[in-house]
Structures are given as C-alpha cells and as structure tokens.
A and B are shown apart, each in its own frame.
Chain A
C-alpha cells in the first residue's frame, strides 16, 4: 500500500475517533484482517512502543505506517494525525457559540461505540499478546489497574516489561 492510500486510510480512522487508541479497531480491520499487510504481533508492537515513548498514545498510527511502508508510511501516519487537529479551531467557535448539542450527542455516540469496538478488538488481540496463562494474568491485572485506578499506563507497561524479563 502506498503512502497516499495509507494517509487516506489513517485519516478516515482518525476522523471517526475521539481518543488515541479508538482507531485500533478500524485499522486492525483494514491492515490486518482485510489486507494482511500487518500481523496482530506487529500491531501489538506498535501499541506497546507508542505507550513507552513521548507524545500522545495515538502516535502508534505513525508506527503502523512505518511497519507497512517505511518512512513514507510513518510520514503518512503523522500527517493523518495532524490534519484533524486543524478542525479544532472552527469546532471551538461552534462549541463556544452554544450550537453544540447535536455535536456533543454525535461525539458521545461515537465514543460509546468506539469503546465497544475497542473491547471486541482487545479480545481479538489478546491471544497473540498473551500466549501463556502468565501473560494472560498480566493482561487482566493491567487492564483492571488502568480501568479502575488513576495509575498511568506507562507504569503498567513498565510492570509488564519487568514481568516479561522474569518469565521463562
């Protein structure tokens, strides 16, 4: 897939998300399940690396581009992340004028559906990331910590990395 096609795919996914990782279901569907350009292992690598490096969690899109098409793909990912941010300025004007009820409702609908999609995708990614019961325990404990506490995701990744080094 060339960089322009990647940019268009990434942009469509990013425009329909309101959180860094909410794009994962759509991009997994397109790049892993439909076109076979990536494996679940590579997708998991991208998510893990983005969570251990500076910047927003959505930066994993840049890594997906890199894994698919090298540096042009990474640039396509970065541009796809940058494009919707420009919309923030006109959206702010709409929101501050009080014409936001329908926008808020649409956002809520997309966010709720995104969460359901993320659950389904997470269950699909788990077998690759947790090949043994020990790794499955890391996934379950880590997910509970992130969901129920204010512990930063970085600490969960750090804990998982240490566990990975200790496990046989």
Chain B
C-alpha cells in the first residue's frame, strides 16, 4: 500500500491527541516518543505500522526537529491540519515547560549537590553531543562513501580554519549535496 499523508475524515481528535500528550510527557528523546506513539496508535487500530514507518521516514528529511515533523504528519493523517497543529503544539510546549521548570529550579539553587550534578551533566551533555555527531554521520558516510568523507573533511577544515558564517557553510553544503549526493542513503 502506498503511504499517504492525506487526512482521515473519520478520525476523532481527542484520543489521538492523548497519545501525543503521553509521548511528549513520559519519554525522553525522539526515538522513545516515536515508539510510544507507534504503540498507542497502531495498538488502537487508528493507523497501521506502515503509516507510521512512512511518516517517520519523511520526518527524517524535514528540516528542524524530526519528532515534531512526525507529530505533524501523524496528526494530519488522523485529523487534518487541526490535529496536526495541536500535536505540534503539544510536542513543543509540554516538554518545553518541563525543561524551563528544571532550568528555573537549577538557576535559583545554591545547593552544592545541584552544582555537582550539573558539573557532571555538562560533561555528559558534551559527550552526547560529540557522540551524536558521529552517530548522525555514520549512515551518510556508508551511503556516500568517498564523496561523503570529502564533504565532511572539507566542511570541518573550512569551519575550523576560516572565519566563515556557519549559515553559509550549510547553505553551500545543501546546494552541493543536491548536485553530488543524490543517491539514497
């Protein structure tokens, strides 16, 4: 069956929105939230696993936060633009509120224990950041091999050595990729 992004006219908005709320509040990271949505929506026969997989694949090539793109696609499939916008709002505002509350508590704390926790968390954050770069890069290098390695090395050297705007680097990389990296990853 060909995957579709058209809205389902028969879906009701309240129960699917609860699935988005649950995924947004109870799971850390996009993969866990996507798995929660899949479990809820497929388990209730609101969507097929194929629908979810197709939406997930498209969300990976959408600029910005992949999870919110997935919310938009699944929300649109289930309830049109209205549910798509509601799902995006839920996906951004609920976790954002949690994060701001934690940041507020941290900013106003003078406890040495909180300071020690944040010192460790900062080191862990940079570790995850560097590891995520490698994780993100690996499938691209597998798909594009020499051209991909050349792209990565060139971008690294340009940013490392030249005072060039990162926006420009990304825009040029996108234009060059549309010409020389067309094979599917």
Contacts and interface: CB of A to CB of B under 8 A. Distances in A.
Interface residues of A, number: 109
A149 to B, nearest CB: 9
A116 B24 contact: no
B99 A106 contact: no
Interface string B98-133: 111011101000000100111111111111111111
A21 B124 contact: no
Given A84-B69, A147-B134, A113 B151 contact: yes
A22 B136 contact: yes
B125 A47 contact: yes
B95 to A, nearest CB: 2
Contact of B65 (A14, A95, A100, A107): A14
B13 interface: no
Contacts of B174: 16, 106-107, 109-110, 113
Nearest to A136: B123
A2 interface: no
A48 to B, nearest CB: 4
B174 to A, nearest CB: 4
Interface string A73-107: 01001110111111111011101100011111111
Interface residues of B, number: 104
Nearest to B27: A54
Contact of A16 (B28, B32, B63): B63
A4 interface: no
B35 to A, nearest CB: 12
A152 B160 CA distance: 29
Contact of A84 (B54, B60, B62): B62
Contacts, number: 396
User: Interface SS of chain A: helix, strand, loop or mixed?
Assistant: helix
Contacts of A106: 174-175, 177-178
B177 A161 contact: no
Contact of B159 (A86, A110, A116): A116
A1 interface: no
Given A62-B99, A91-B61, A115-B140, 11 more contacts: A52-B28, A53-B99, A56-B29, A78-B96, A86-B84, A106-B177, A108-B181, A109-B151, A157-B125, A160-B125, A160-B127
Top 9 nearest A-B pairs by Cβ distance?
Answer: A109-B177, A164-B120, A55-B95, A146-B131, A142-B127, A160-B124, A84-B64, A113-B173, A48-B125
Interface of A: 12, 14-22, 24-26, 29, 41, 44-60, 62-63, 66-67, 71, 74, 77-79, 81-89, 91-93, 95-96, 100-122, 125-126, 128-130, 135, 138-148, 152-154, 156-165, 167
23 contacts: A18-B62, A47-B129, A48-B124, A52-B28, A58-B64, A81-B65, A85-B72, A86-B72, A96-B3, A96-B54, A107-B61, A108-B140, A108-B177, A117-B159, A117-B166, A117-B170, A118-B130, A143-B126, A147-B130, A160-B127, A164-B119, A164-B123, A167-B119
